[in-house]
């Protein structure tokens, strides 16, 4: 049976939660502006956080290095004609 090697790269570990309190009108406007650029509020906040970190540290943000994980997945076998 043939196998396909599939590489999975984890760019960032997104398991931490940040909770903030903001004015409801500012939240509504922020959500509307995000929707206008077809982005989720989380995507925009992550982008703003990366930019802030880069400005403050003077270095481009890069997540800690993790080895790429390789997973093996069996490829589907298809028989054309003949007996099974």
Distance CA 4, CA 78 (A): 15
pLDDT at 8 over 50: no
* pLDDT at position 77: 52
Q: Give the SS3 label for residue 9.
A: coil
CB-count burial class (<10 Å; 0-12, 13-18, 19+) for 6? exposed
Q: In degrees rounded to 5, what are phi and psi of residue 57?
A: -95, -20
Q: Give the SS3 label for residue 24.
A: helix
Q: What is the pLDDT of residues 16-68, one digit of tens each?
A: 899 999 999 999 999 999 999 999 999 999 999 999 999 999 999 887 776 55
Mean pLDDT of 65-74: 53
Tokens of 61: 């943000």
DSSP 59: S
pLDDT at 81 over 70: no
Mean pLDDT of 1-23: 71
pLDDT at 7 over 50: no
């Amino acid at each position: 049976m043939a196998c396909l090697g599939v590489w999975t790269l984890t760019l960032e570990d997104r398991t931490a939660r940040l909770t903030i309190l903001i004015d409801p009108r500012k939240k509504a406007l922020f959500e509307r502006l995000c929707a206008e650029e077809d982005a989720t509020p989380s995507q925009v906040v992550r982008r703003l956080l990366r930019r802030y970190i880069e400005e403050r540290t003077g270095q481009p943000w890069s997540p800690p290095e993790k080895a790429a994980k390789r997973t093996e997945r069996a490829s589907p076998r298809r028989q054309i004609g003949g007996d099974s």
